[in-house]
Amino acid sequence: MSTVQQRLEAAELSFGHGTDHAFDEAVWLICSAANIEPDLIDEATWDVILDHAQISKIESICRERVDARRPLAYINQRMWFAGHEFYVDERVLIPRSHLGEWIDDCFAPWVDAGDVRAILDLCTGSGCIGVALAYAFPNAQIVASDVSTDALQVAQVNVQRHRLEGRIELLRSDLFDQFEGRRFDLIVSNPPYVGQPAMQELPAEYRHEPNIALDGGADGLALINQILRDADRFLTDTGVLVLEAASAAPALKNQYPHVPFNWLASGGGDEVLLIISATELKRLVSSKRS
């Protein structure tokens, strides 16, 4: 363990794709090579003697992680989100959305789960948010959309693995382009929101992810502004939009200082998700047009 951890530390890797530091990444790396489920680790696990094949696999994964700076989630082609496991590869962003901290509670008290029958997961990527929403809102039908056909292929794998084909519709759409005439009780989106200055400084690990899933334009608001402008037309009268802004939140607050966004904080205390009702969105759109 310490040898793998030391190698990861010495390489000065960047973390954030499922782990926050070298020790946790070393545990995950070794467990994946030894076919040990990370959530089943106990005291006895630390005394397991690895065979030659497992040691060789640890060496191979460690070398790829260090030399290529490739995120471990891509090497293993698996990641967890909101308590569920997902297939991932370089066609999609590695699941880590702050939305996962709130989905289990169905965004209460701003959303009445009992009234939600139709949900749109906009910019679905791997489909992890749509799948998690299907579990959290068992009476709802989900549409998971993305502009990337590559991403939708990955999402299809995950929908099938979770046996949710009857409840999740996958649709290629550039934001709301394919939704004319449709209405949803809840729209949830984790759009690209990384601004250009931050895009230029991304560590090598993050450059393995699709640029289209990260790049939010000059200030991170390119797609966020479009969603805020158009979402009210696709919400029911009592509908709600939940939108991840994270690093773009300061720019968003500056641009809309008088809009009554409800902000939800991450575990670290940062305001990362905004919630706004269809009624409030209509007022926002009217004020921008006047």
What are residue 242's DSSP bridge partners?
188, 275
Report how far apart, in Å, the C-alpha atoms of 7 and of each of 4, 161, 257, 289 are. Answer: 5, 35, 47, 56
Do 92 and 213 form a contact (C-beta atoms < 8 A)? yes
Rg from Cα positions in the chain? 20
Give the pLDDT of residue 276.
95
**Spacing of C-alpha 67 from chain mean position:** 26
Distance from C-alpha of 261 to C-alpha of 265, rounded to nearest angstrom: 13
Beta strand pairing status for 141-146 and 118-122? parallel
Query: Where in the chain are all domains bearing CATH 3.40.50.150?
Result: 91-289
Give the pLDDT of residue 42.
57
Helix (H, G, I), strand (E, B) or coil at 242: strand
Sign, CA dihedral 261-209-21-103, equals positive
Q: Give the model confidence (pLDDT) of 259-277 as tens digits.
A: 878 999 888 888 999 999 9
Beta strand pairing status for 235-244 and 84-86? unpaired
What are residue 274's DSSP bridge partners?
243, 263
Q: Give the model confidence (pLDDT) of 203-234 as tens digits.
A: 999 999 999 999 999 999 999 999 999 999 99
Give the pLDDT of residue 41.
63
Which ranges of the chain does DSSP label H, i.e. alpha helix?
Answer: 2-10, 22-33, 52-67, 72-76, 100-103, 128-136, 149-161, 196-200, 222-230, 249-255, 278-289
Amino acid (1-letter code) at residue 104: D
In tens digits, what is the pLDDT along the chain, a chain of 290 residues? 568 999 999 999 999 999 999 999 998 999 888 887 766 665 545 666 788 998 999 999 999 999 999 999 999 999 999 999 999 999 999 999 999 999 999 999 999 999 999 999 999 999 999 999 999 999 999 999 999 999 999 999 999 999 999 999 999 999 999 999 999 999 999 999 999 999 999 999 999 999 999 999 999 999 999 999 999 999 999 999 999 999 999 999 999 888 878 999 888 888 999 999 999 998 887 776 55
Please provide the CATH number assigned to the domain covering 91-289.
Answer: 3.40.50.150
Closest among 227, 71, 202, 68 to 147, alpha carbons compared: 227
Give the pLDDT of residue 289.
55
Give the pLDDT of residue 81.
96
**Token pair recorded at residue 211:** 């640029």
Distance from C-alpha of 32 to C-alpha of 78, rounded to nearest angstrom: 10
Amino acid (1-letter code) at residue 138: P
